[in-house]
Copies of this chain bind each other. A is one copy, B any other.
Amino acid sequence: MKISLLQLNPVVGDLKGNAQKIIRGIQEAGKEDPDLIVTSELALLGYPPRDLLLQKKFIEESWQIAGNIAKDCRAAPPVLLGLAQPNESAVGRPLFNAAALIDNGEVTHCFRKTLLPTYDVFDEDRYFEPALGAQILHLKNHTIGISICEDIWNDRDFWNRRRYQADPIGNLAASGADLIINISASPFTVGKQQIREKMLGSIASRYHIPLAYVNQTGGNDDLIFDGRSCVFGSSGTLIARARSFQEDILTADLQCTASNRISPADFTPESEIWSALVLGTRDYVYKTGFTSVLLGLSGGIDSALVAALAAEALGKDHVLGVLMPSPYSSTGSIDDALALAANLGIRSTTLPIKPIMDAYDAVLREEFAGCPQDLTEENLQARIRGTLLMALSNKSGSLLLTTGNKSEVSVGYCTLYGDMCGAIGVISDVPKSMVYRIARWVNDQNQRKVIPEPVFTKAPSAELRPGQTDQDTLPPYDLLDGILYRHVELHESPEEIVKSGYPEKTIFQTLHRVKAAEFKRRQAAPGFKVTDRAFGTGWRMPIAAKEWYAD
């Protein structure tokens, strides 16, 4: 049996555009003469469609278009197409998350998703009613078990704790499936593909059934889909893999595996995150209708890495770096920023902010009479810079990139409406220590100092007052990132983190900062998710709340 996996990059809501992509994919795959062609989850709508699912006419329109796809591909092999099926019952949520079988020019049947993830960035219980019973497709003497994404993430042996009572894959095996298909839209996080392949292989081998897994690719808002669709033989061996972080059509023969393609996948964290952020940036910019970006260049490591990512994603001619020195900016920082721009080949411009600082000071002089300088004046500089960048963005039609990293976003070491300005937080889920690692990796890959060496070696500083460094306010980044990992990703309390050997006072100060910065993060730009728990859609904390562990 031969199966073709359509690993496509849909635009959410773009029914016509996605349909065109799918039709072209079917035609392309058809040349290999497969027995079945499979798209990723909700491929026609783009994943995640979120509240578009509440618009009835959107669903109706999608079914008309599914019908058109069926007609257009009448001559093609059978296709499993990811879409949302209305729930005709008078009770329950309005839709099913489904895979429609397209055969002989018609949509003939729908297979439904059983397990509806509702944690982290997932919200499927909001929209979908679960399937009841095994979803089996009989095709050419084969009994094919159809599962959708989460259905395969609840294996009783692979996980310590299962989230759901139901075991859809066990049910498919018990129903005599001789092939399991999983159509997914599984967002990237660092190291996830290794877990996927381990889990999928273990399921294939335990049930002695080959398994074909198709994933979406591309960036949709905060989520980046890495593709890497793959097929396992009944022994649990990987017998085919599609490309990483790009569209691909993979046809695999389940019996004669010799000519199957196994595209390489680089699991180095630096490489994975780089590839994800390049794809995420490119798709966010293009899918929102822009072609160029700008960003502030401070001479620091964060803006250096984001500039390098943007140049890779969009081409160096579509990136503008803006230097906005104040009287507190060091000549080193200005030199480093200019050298970086030159190394990347991007345009740069310099707008000194001193005259604007003076104008604000004059207007506020009477109100602030007798008050000592404090954070207010530091925030003012950041907000002047944010306002200048937005003015350039407005005038030029370029999209502003936000350059804050996860460590500073966690503890609020950033200015709302200042350096937090921008449409997308490119590295807002990358901890500072990983920012350094990826930047070093960039230089290694290029075999030259794209990012100037002083950017690595000088003490990190916001340069908002004379002689300031980040570590005046924050613990060393390695320590900070360790505490943040345990709190943000593992939900640990202070007393649990103490057990890992971190100093108690630093833990309490850090967690207090995380809590106090909640109001800033609520107004932050969306940021690309690369860790198991990013701020944004997967982090839903109250603001006007009290720390239960305080006192």
- Chain A interface (Cβ within 8 Å of chain B)? 11-17, 46, 48-52, 54-58, 61-62, 90-93, 118-119, 123, 125-126, 161-165, 219-221, 283-284, 287-288, 349, 351-353, 355-356, 358-360, 362-364, 367-368, 371, 374-376, 379-380, 383-384, 386-388, 390-392, 394-395, 416-417, 421, 423, 491-493, 495-496, 519, 522-526, 537, 539-549, 551
Contacts and interface: CB of A to CB of B under 8 A. Distances in A.
Nearest to A156: B91
A13 B511 CA distance: 14
Given A93-B163, A542-B220, A544-B220, A351 B363 contact: yes
Given A92-B165, A387-B417, 16 more contacts: A11-B546, A12-B545, A13-B546, A13-B548, A14-B545, A58-B549, A90-B162, A118-B123, A219-B544, A349-B367, A355-B363, A374-B395, A379-B390, A379-B391, A383-B387, A386-B417
Contacts of A417: 383, 386-387, 390, 417, 421
Given A92-B163, A163-B93, A391 B360 contact: yes
A422 to B, nearest CB: 9
A112 B283 CA distance: 45
Contacts of A123: 118, 123, 540
Nearest to A219: B544
Contact of A548 (B52, B379, B416): B52
B383 A542 contact: no
Contact of A118 (B17, B125, B220): B125
Contact of A16 (B48, B91, B92, B551): B551
A388 B376 CA distance: 10
A10 B451 CA distance: 51
5 contacts: A48-B542, A58-B493, A92-B162, A359-B359, A376-B395
A13 to B, nearest CB: 4
A349 B366 CA distance: 10
B376 A380 contact: no
Nearest to A522: B526
A52 B549 CA distance: 11
Given A359-B355, A367-B351, A545 B51 contact: no
Nearest to A116: B125
A288 B543 contact: yes
A77 to B, nearest CB: 28
Contacts of A392: 364, 367
Contacts of A90: 161-162
